[in-house]
């Protein structure tokens, strides 16, 4: 496996590769990230993972500085997983001049996490666009754990005609149901014990809707109340249709429940797709 730090070297390394599958990450890799590499192997013969903690997508006062950086461990895990090339640029390599050209996110990014993390999706779309241009992959794999991000990146790919196949990988969870995340490492022991409650609430809504309940607002409010009562600070628990990420209208069946909430200083997100009854 090659570990490459500059754009020029990466381009030289990948020149002429007929089947590149890209896995973009911010590092501090866990089995969820490595599952993306497994998915990538089904879609390409050259697997390129990127590791870059992208300052642009952290809101002011966010956790950019304390975000864990574990390059050596990450490279060992990626090699073991069968990755071929790691691109780990420094900040000045990716942003050699002020990045004042930014991507404007679509309407669907102005809600949910977009409401609570100003500038986040602008930063995500800008770095993903750069990585798409630098790596020129045929396929790119993103986790369904970041459901709105995946939705917004699909829009980016369509609206800017990248011609890259965007593949979604399912969320990998801890045995108690908590979605794996680099941010789980921030949790205290007490917070970690509570953390599965977000997923439990999302799952409960899914199960009730799949069982025929139509009182969506009451179900969502119930989850917010439950989490708040348990000591969480809830950003949102919401139901959307999968196609447009809009509030469902009667007849919409392919839905998704999404939640984002804080335990202490740590913000966790989760979601589950729902197939509503007719």
Instruction: Please pick, from the candidates 25, 50, 126, 241, the single residue that binds ligand AMP as defined by CB under 6 A.
Output: 25
Please tell me the number of Cα atoms within 13 Å of 22 on its side-chain side. Answer: 25
Instruction: Please pick, from the candidates 74, 146, 191, 270, the single residue that binds ligand AMP as defined by CB under 6 A.
Output: 146
**Nearest C-alpha neighbor of 256 from the set 232, 236, 275:** 275
- Exposure string for 25-48, b = 16+ CB within 10 A, e = fewer: bbbbbbebbbbbbebbbebbebbb
Asked if residue 32 binds ligand AMP (CB under 6 A), the reply is: yes
30 is catalytic: no
Based on CB atoms, which residue is closest to ligand AMP, 14 or 26? 26
Instruction: Please pick, from the candidates 4, 14, 20, 36, the single residue that binds ligand AMP as defined by CB under 6 A.
Output: 36
Instruction: Please pick, from the candidates 10, 136, 167, 172, the single residue that binds ligand AMP as defined by CB under 6 A.
Output: 172
Which string of x and - marks every residue 125-144 that binds ligand AMP (by CB under 6 A)?
-----------------xx-
Based on CB atoms, which residue is closest to ligand AMP, 51 or 219? 51
Of the residues 5, 33, 73, 120, which is catalytic? Answer: 33
State how beta strands 254-263 and 233-241 pair: antiparallel
Residue 260: enclosing H or E segment and its boundaries?
A: strand 254-263
Asked if residue 157 binds ligand AMP (CB under 6 A), the reply is: no
Binding to ligand AMP (CB under 6 A) within 180-239 occurs at 180-182
Looking at 62-70, 173-181, 191-199, 257-265, which segment touches ligand AMP (CB under 6 A)? 173-181
Residue 21 and residue 19: Cα distance in Å, rounded?
7
Phi and psi at 170, nearest 5°, equal: -65, 155
Residue 33 and residue 181: Cα distance in Å, rounded?
9
Asked if residue 267 binds ligand AMP (CB under 6 A), the reply is: no
Based on CB atoms, which residue is closest to ligand AMP, 130 or 219? 130
Per the listing, tokens 């020129």 go with 136
The SS3 assignment for 7 reads helix
Asked if residue 179 binds ligand AMP (CB under 6 A), the reply is: yes
8 Å CB contact between 187 and 263: yes
State how beta strands 165-169 and 46-51 pair: unpaired
Smallest distance from ligand AMP to CB 11, Å: 22
Based on CB atoms, which residue is closest to ligand AMP, 108 or 171? 171
> How many residues belong to the site for ligand AMP (CB under 6 A)?
17
Asked if residue 257 binds ligand AMP (CB under 6 A), the reply is: no
Residue 164 burial class via C-beta count within 10 angstroms: exposed 0-12, middle 13-18, buried 19 and up = buried
Give the residues lining the site for ligand AMP (CB under 6 A): 25-26, 32-33, 35-36, 142-143, 145-146, 169, 171-172, 179-182
Active site residue ranges: 33
């Amino acid at each position: 496996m090659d570990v490459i730090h500059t754009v020029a070297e990466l381009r030289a390394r990948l020149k002429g590769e007929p089947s590149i599958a890209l896995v973009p990450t911010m590092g501090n890799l866990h089995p969820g990230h490595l599952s993306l590499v497994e998915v990538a192997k089904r879609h390409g013969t050259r697997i390129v993972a990127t590791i870059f903690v992208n300052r642009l997508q952290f809101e002011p006062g966010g956790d950019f500085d304390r975000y864990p950086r574990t390059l050596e461990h990450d490279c060992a895990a990626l090699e073991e997983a069968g990755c071929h090339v790691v691109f780990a640029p420094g900040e000045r390599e990716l942003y050699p001049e002020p990045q004042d050209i930014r991507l404007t996110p679509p309407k669907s990014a102005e809600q949910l996490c977009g409401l609570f993390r100003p500038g986040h999706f602008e930063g995500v779309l800008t770095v993903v666009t750069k990585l798409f241009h630098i790596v020129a992959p045929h396929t790119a794999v993103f986790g369904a754990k970041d459901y709105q991000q995946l939705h917004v990146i699909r829009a980016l790919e369509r609206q800017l005609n990248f011609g890259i196949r965007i593949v979604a990988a399912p969320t990998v969870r801890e045995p108690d149901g908590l979605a794996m995340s680099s941010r789980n490492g921030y949790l205290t022991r007490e917070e970690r014990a509570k953390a599965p409650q977000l997923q439990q609430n999302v799952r409960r809504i899914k199960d009730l809707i799949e069982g025929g309940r139509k009182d969506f607002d009451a179900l969502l409010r119930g989850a917010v109340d439950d989490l708040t009562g348990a000591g969480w600070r809830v950003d949102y628990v919401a139901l959307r249709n999968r196609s447009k990420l809009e509030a469902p209208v009667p007849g919409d069946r392919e839905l998704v429940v999404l939640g984002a909430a804080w335990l202490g200083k740590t913000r966790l997100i989760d979601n589950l797709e729902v197939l509503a009854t007719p």
